[in-house]
Structure 1
Amino acid sequence: MTAPAELLHPANPDLLPLLGRTPLARIRTPLPHPQPGFWAKLECLGAGGMKARSAVAMLRGARARGELRPGATVVESTSGTLGIGLAFAGQALGHPVVLIGDAELEPSMRQLLRSYGAGLEIVDRPDRHGGWQTARLTRVREVLGRTPDAYWPDQYNNADNCAGYQAMADEITGELDHLDVLVCSVGTGGHSAGLAATLRRRWPALRVVGVDSVGSAIFGQPARPRLMRGLGSSIHPRNVAYGAFDEVHWVGPAEAVDACRRLARGCFVSGGWSTGAVALVAAWAARSDPDAVVATVFPDGPHRYLGTIYDDTYCRLHRLGPEHAAPHPLELARPDAGEATGWARCRVVADPLEVRP
């Protein structure tokens, strides 16, 4: 059986040429200090956003292996961005999409996902141990159990997630003659792993800097409730290529907000939590070595965050003013040397599930 007839829609392959081909912008805005500039891939200007790349790759891979039947329903957990990408992929390839969000998913994002034709279920309380992420995954399994032939991409552990960024890497190598430092936000681990593997074949000495959220467990910090969405995780995705990173930075919400607002005022290009976090670290990298060519990826634009990052009342309530933003990273000798509550940096990167006392 396939999905119920009322959920089916025909494939629209005319959408696929709209995927990717996003511009690479030069960013010179002080963040917060003057810096010589870095390159930013503006994924907000691609149809479906950055994660449409991985969504299309995951569905195509599943179809090729026979795991995803024609017209079958796709079910996935999302904090928003992948949901947009899957809605795009579902329309392009002809699959209904059911998304599992949580109570913190913004009303505007809920409206947008539903407008794109996706089904949306909301979990109303976090898991006692694994937070919202685990609660969403539990609901994913429930939906899979009651939906015939449904397919779960499992973005956190699906290698096609990483492969979906091959085209982005090719776009970067087509525009830059050289690259010294790549700065990537890390959530599922998909775009950092995909970009690092491809770009290092072109530039073997490339340094890769991971950017995580405070309160995220990915790089060995304790999992805590996180204000920031879109980067970080309370679980350990297998797609994270720990060996690819030369160092990791944890960024707090105050630093991300400050960077986003400076970008909006200074160069008209801005975005959400991940964009602010990687912009801050990319500017730091460019400032630390003015001769280095530094590039990063801005995953999305600002519109989703008008009620949070760009809302003065919200920022006052959560103490996110510039006076709360660290101007420099705190140095940690090891990922577990102390808990990062604001911008911190560590030059030791290891898979926390493989580290032994």
Structure 2
Amino acid sequence: MPIISAPHDFNEHDLFIDLRSSLGIPLHLKCEGMNFAGSIKQKAAVGMIEAAERAGRLRPDSILVESSSGNLGVALSMMAASKGYGFLCVTDSRCNLNTRRMMEVFGARVHTITEADPVTGLLGARLAYVRRLLESDDRYVWLNQYQNPDNWGAHYRWTAPAIARQFPDLDVLFVGAGTTGTLMGCARWFKEHRPQVRIVAVDSVGSVSFGQPAAPRWIPGLGSGVRPAMLDERYVDDVRMVEEIDTVRMCHRLAARGFLFGGSTGTAVAGAAAWLAEHDPAGRLTAATIGPDLGERYLDTVYQTNWVQDIYGSEALEQLATPVGMPSAVAVKAPDALPLAA
């Protein structure tokens, strides 16, 4: 058992769940919520803050500012508390109440955007507010998770090699797409070291990341109202779009087996399950996906029947009560991947 002196010194890299025995899905789920930030975003937070410190961008009076739908905000709040920096998280009305409260417990300030930009949506409005803050006070330091190479670099350094060590014969890896930091870090590593592994991006219906039309989305985490600056589709072999109700249904399926996961994890598993049902009905491929978060922060949304009914209609509750087959995720054609170097 390790002995640590800072919360970000601990991260469980090697915990996987075999979903074949519990859900009948031939898929291994990498659990990324077993750390003090509760999500995979701890890796990105560590990578970006430590790089900014090495570059001399952070001073003792610096105030970190970041746009986040929740999980990165919690990770940065935790690290800011540990290292003595101020932190202001700019989020929007989709951020869970429990997530906002966690950030505030760590001493962070939280500014919630409630009015979307007419073109770029809530994310665009969040980014515009961050830019105004930077102009108002030079103490603010924006790590900019959307364009920071240390975001995807953290997953190139840690996440992808951990998967490769566990599964030397991996055939396909499913990765959820938000800022695409996790996706790009893993895809770049595998294209460089194991180019035979097929990389499938999983995204939420309503996200514009892969050229699909924008639509309202209610579950924070995956998806984007603005095309991610880091996304390079040449590293992606296929894309799977997942309806939010299928995310909710998968979260409930997992919970019914004793695994409480968050919305991003539900989306990743739902997309992987649908892809495998179509492309590998015999279950011969070795497949893995990444579960970015746990489910405690979603108790008032994804796991709350009143919320589900209000957002998705009364028929959604009937679907939750019905034995679920494979989710109805939608396939999107991606460009042919190129075996590019990182």
TM range (shorter): 0.7 to 0.9
Encode CA deviations 1:54-109: one digit per residue, 9 max, x unaligned.
01111122222233334411101111011011113323443221101122322221
Q: Is the 8 A contact 1:29 1:263 kept in 2?
A: no
Match runs of 1:198-209 below 5 Å: 198-209=189-200
Match of 1:127 among 104, 117, 120: 117
For residue 17 of structure 2, give the secondary structure of its aligned residue in structure 1.
Answer: strand
Q: Does 1:56 align with 2:46?
A: yes
Q: Is the 8 A contact 2:241 2:331 kept in 1?
A: yes
C-alpha distance in 2 between matches for 1:281 and 1:88: 31
Aligned to 2:330: 344
Aligned to 2:139: 149
For residue 198 of structure 1, give the secondary structure of its aligned residue in structure 2.
Answer: helix
Aligned to 1:306: 299
C-alpha distance in 1 between matches for 2:256 and 2:203: 24
Structure 1's 136 and 13: CA in aligned 2 closer, same or farther, altered over 3 A? farther
Match runs of 1:12-161 below 5 Å: 14-28=6-20, 34-35=24-25, 37-48=26-37, 49-161=39-151
Structure 1's 70 and 169: CA in aligned 2 closer, same or farther, altered over 3 A? farther
For residue 310 of structure 1, give the secondary structure of its aligned residue in structure 2.
Answer: coil
Match runs of 1:199-238 below 5 Å: 199-238=190-229
Aligned to 2:340: none
Q: Is the 8 A contact 2:191 2:235 kept in 1?
A: no
Structure 1 residue 278, shift from structure 2 partner: 0.9
Q: Is the 8 A contact 1:258 1:321 kept in 2?
A: no
Counterpart residue identity of residue 78, structure 1: S
Q: Is the 8 A contact 1:29 1:262 kept in 2?
A: no
Counterpart residue identity of residue 255, structure 1: D
Aligned to 1:185: 176
Match runs of 1:152-171 below 5 Å: 152-165=142-155, 166-171=157-162
Aligned to 1:264: 255
Q: Is the 8 A contact 1:219 1:350 kept in 2?
A: no
Structure 1 residue 144, shift from structure 2 partner: 1.9
Structure 1's 322 and 158: CA in aligned 2 closer, same or farther, altered over 3 A? farther
Q: Is the 8 A contact 1:184 1:208 kept in 2?
A: yes
C-alpha distance in 2 between matches for 1:350 and 1:246: 6
For residue 72 of structure 2, give the secondary structure of its aligned residue in structure 1.
Answer: helix
Gaps of 5+ in 2: 338-342
Identity level (%):
30
C-alpha distance in 2 between matches for 1:216 and 1:16: 31
Counterpart residue identity of residue 254, structure 1: I
User: Size of the alignment, in residue pairs?
Assistant: 324
For residue 28 of structure 1, give the secondary structure of its aligned residue in structure 2.
Answer: helix
For residue 44 of structure 1, give the secondary structure of its aligned residue in structure 2.
Answer: coil
TM-score, with normalisation over the residues of structure 1?
Answer: 0.84
Moved more, 21-30 or 94-103: 21-30
Structure 1's 14 and 104: CA in aligned 2 closer, same or farther, altered over 3 A? closer
Q: Is the 8 A contact 1:213 1:228 kept in 2?
A: no
C-alpha distance in 2 between matches for 1:275 and 1:349: 25
Counterpart residue identity of residue 78, structure 2: F
C-alpha distance in 1 between matches for 2:17 and 2:217: 29
Counterpart residue identity of residue 19, structure 2: I
For residue 86 of structure 1, give the secondary structure of its aligned residue in structure 2.
Answer: helix
For residue 228 of structure 1, give the secondary structure of its aligned residue in structure 2.
Answer: coil
TM-score, with normalisation over the residues of structure 2?
Answer: 0.87
Structure 1's 88 and 350: CA in aligned 2 closer, same or farther, altered over 3 A? farther
For residue 164 of structure 2, give the secondary structure of its aligned residue in structure 1.
Answer: helix
Match runs of 1:323-334 below 5 Å: 323=319
Q: Is the 8 A contact 1:13 1:93 kept in 2?
A: no
Aligned to 1:339: none
Q: Does 1:293 align with 2:286?
A: yes
Encode CA deviations 1:290-316: one digit per residue, 9 max, x unaligned.
111111111111111111111112222
Q: Is the 8 A contact 1:75 1:140 kept in 2?
A: yes
Gaps of 5+ in 1: 1-11, 330-341, 352-357
C-alpha distance in 2 between matches for 1:44 and 1:173: 19
Structure 1's 155 and 259: CA in aligned 2 closer, same or farther, altered over 3 A? same
Structure 1 residue 223, shift from structure 2 partner: 1.6
Structure 1's 22 and 95: CA in aligned 2 closer, same or farther, altered over 3 A? farther
Moved more, 301-310 or 13-22: 13-22
Aligned to 1:6: none
Aligned to 2:242: 251
For residue 171 of structure 1, give the secondary structure of its aligned residue in structure 2.
Answer: helix
Structure 1's 185 and 257: CA in aligned 2 closer, same or farther, altered over 3 A? same
Q: Is the 8 A contact 1:22 1:46 kept in 2?
A: no
